[in-house]
Amino acid sequence: MNSPNVIEVRDAGMRYRVHKSRRRSLREKMFRTLLRRDEVIDIWALKDVSFDLERGGSLGIIGDNGAGKSTLCLLLSQIMAPTSGSVNVAGRVSALLTLGAGFQPDLTGLDNIFLNGIYLGFTRDEIQDKFGEIVGFSELGEFIDLPVRTYSSGMRARLAFSIAATIKPEILIIDELMGVGDRKFQQKSIVRMKELIQESKALVVVSHSMDTVRDLCSRTVWLDKGRIVAQGPTQEVVEQYESH
């Protein structure tokens, strides 16, 4: 992209095709095919979504359950491609979409640090240089040598965030991760995300916590049933959402 933006979304839509009827036998399948009774329903999780995020910017994405927030994160992280429109991202993305996504449960926290770092595009030497900082930030201590399957959800959240925030991706996308873990770690993580913003890294935060969005994001997009209701300065959009 020849622009100051690291993310440009233009008229993006995401469609899921769902078969309304269930085929329970080969005979029924042939019968329905011949009569063309196998109805397909198009469900648009997102439609006509457009916005930009500049380098060094921080964007909040808010809305009720089912609004399309997580689907938008999948498009921004380039895990999925839009059905219509375009999503252009310039920079290395680290997406924390689910707790411990990508972790191998039977491997130790130590092993998973290297696996996740390599997945993010870093060399083993680069990860080794950051290893002590990652473990220190996570506050897992001796648990780092235990299998991840023994971790609580909060411990997984600590490790996932510590890897992403310490290795410093160009664009960090977080979907509801900050609601997990103790209050002290949440506060420390918010401070770290503010440091990422100051270091000209872009940040996208999906959250039901309006306090978190206000604290971290300069701009916010409000989604409802897959469409943008409002976007602009965070305080203005959050006030509209809360009034609604």
Residue 241: per-residue pLDDT = 97
Q: Which amino acid is at 209?
A: S
- C-alpha distances in Å from residue 138, one per residue of 114, 169, 172, 215, 228: 15, 17, 17, 22, 36
Per-residue pLDDT of the chain (244 residues; tens, 9 = 90+): 667 889 999 999 999 987 665 555 666 666 555 555 557 788 899 999 999 999 889 999 999 999 999 899 989 988 899 999 999 998 878 777 665 566 899 999 999 999 888 877 788 898 999 999 999 999 999 999 999 999 988 888 889 888 888 877 788 888 866 555 677 888 888 888 888 777 767 899 998 889 989 998 999 999 999 999 999 999 999 999 999 8
HSE toward the beta carbon, residue 121, CA cutoff 13 A = 8
What are 101's two structure tokens? 């996504």
Q: Which long-range contacts (C-beta less than 8 Å, at least 24 apart) are formed by 188-197?
A: 188/137, 189/161, 189/165, 190/215, 190/216, 192/137, 192/165, 193/165, 196/165, 196/168, 196/172, 197/56, 197/57, 197/58
Residue 98: per-residue pLDDT = 60
Residue 149: per-residue pLDDT = 93
Q: Where are the domains of the chain?
A: 5-243
Residue 27: per-residue pLDDT = 64
Can you name the CATH fold of 5-243?
A: Rossmann fold (3.40.50)
Helix (H) or strand (E) holding 43: strand 40-54
